[in-house]
Amino acid sequence: MTQAVWWLLFTLAAIWAQSFFPGVDFFAPGLIVCLQKDSKTKAAWLCLAWVILQEGTGSLSFGYALAQYAGLLACYGVGRWLFEGRNFVFICLLGLILAGIHHSLTLTLARFQDYLFDADLVLRESLYQALFFPLAWVLASELYPKPPQDEQAV
């Protein structure tokens, strides 16, 4: 399976998973997997596609997904100075940070737009984000296609 097909299937699976858990971002673990196993260029294109997808389907004002991924990427970049990039504890920490980003951005943007919101629901979504992020990362890392072996390499 080519990587393009794999990323398309991952995107469809993330959309499907988000239909069961609204408010939980299942694209973010894929972005981290792409940074770890692929090129930064491919990660940038996937991030752009996912930001456009989420901004177009979301009800909050423009900038939520952009700010969320910017925060995630900044924390990943800084965290790699302290941890090995594939360390499970580091991934769990990223999940907690992403949950905090989701909670603060949702509450802030909802207040800016004068939306009535359920604070308990936003907290629940944030907890689900912290729980599902490491699990989705492990699943995506394990299912990610291995690069083809060079037949001439011994």
Cβ partners under 8 Å of residue 41, min gap 6: none
Contact between 38 and 10 under an 8 Å Cβ cutoff? The reply is: no
The larger pLDDT score, comparing residue 109 to residue 129, is at 129
Number of domains in the chain: 1
Percent of the chain with pLDDT over 90: 55
Cβ partners under 8 Å of residue 20, min gap 6: none
**pLDDT tens string 17-59:** 989 998 889 999 999 999 998 889 999 999 999 998 887 766 6
Q: What does the pLDDT read at residue 65?
A: 86
d(CA 10, CA 80): 24
The larger pLDDT score, comparing residue 44 to residue 154, is at 44
152 assigned to some structural domain: no
d(CA 37, CA 103): 29
60 assigned to some structural domain: yes
Q: What does the pLDDT read at residue 107?
A: 85
21 assigned to some structural domain: yes
**pLDDT tens string 67-94:** 899 999 999 999 988 888 889 999 999 9
124 assigned to some structural domain: yes
d(CA 61, CA 25): 17
84 assigned to some structural domain: yes
71 assigned to some structural domain: yes
95 assigned to some structural domain: yes
DSSP tag of 25? -
- Residue 122's domain comprises 3-143
150 assigned to some structural domain: no
1 falls in which pLDDT band (50, 70, 90)?
low
